[in-house]
Amino acid sequence: MRALALLALTLVGCASMHGPLDVITPDEFTLGQGSTVMDGGIFDNYGVHDFGFDAESESTYAALTWDIPSFQDEGLTTEERRAIRDFYAMVDAEEEEVEAADTKPKLLDGANPPPPAWLPFTLIGVGLVIVLGFALYSRRREQW
């Protein structure tokens, strides 16, 4: 039942003209057939290898397509778009520098920075490997 409802929604969406269903449903449902004939060999880095084969292929396909709108403003030239993009990249870089300067820890003179966050986990992992190694080694030995 759900598959039938989904199929109906998809086909209804294909018929909609810029409605709310146009965002989530495809614009076209296409059925088609194709065929090809291959004759000859393979060309690779070592040259052409003629194996003397013939092949035919036929296919039937179904496709859902969406008409994606263009985001390119026809009123701007390439140079104007590049200038706008560079300007906003410069503004973003300046904001990142300000944020990075605000988030850096401020240490007093002579104070040591805290250890990295991964260090305790690494030490615990190494300790577990050592303990497991001793446990396995002692199980293999014949004890009295």
Average pLDDT over every residue of 93-97: 84
* pLDDT confidence of residue 130: 94
Q: Over the range 83-92, which residues count as b (16 or more CB within 10 Å of their CB) and which as e? A: eeeeeeeeee
**Residue 58, C-beta contacts closer than 8 angstroms, at least 6 positions apart:** 33, 34, 35
Q: What distance in Å separates the CA atoms of residue 102 and residue 96, rounded to the nearest whole number? A: 10
The segment with the largest mean pLDDT, out of 31-35, 48-52, 72-76, is 31-35
Average pLDDT over every residue of 58-79: 77
Contact 39, 63 (CB under 8 A): no
Q: Identify the residue with better confidence: 128 or 114.
A: 128
* pLDDT confidence of residue 35: 87
Contact 32, 61 (CB under 8 A): yes
The segment with the largest mean pLDDT, out of 24-33, 41-50, 68-77, is 24-33
Which amino acid appears at position 25 of this protein?
T
pLDDT higher than threshold 60 for residue 16? no
User: What is the domain partition of the chain in residue ranges?
Assistant: 2-65, 70-105
**Residue 110, C-beta contacts closer than 8 angstroms, at least 6 positions apart:** none
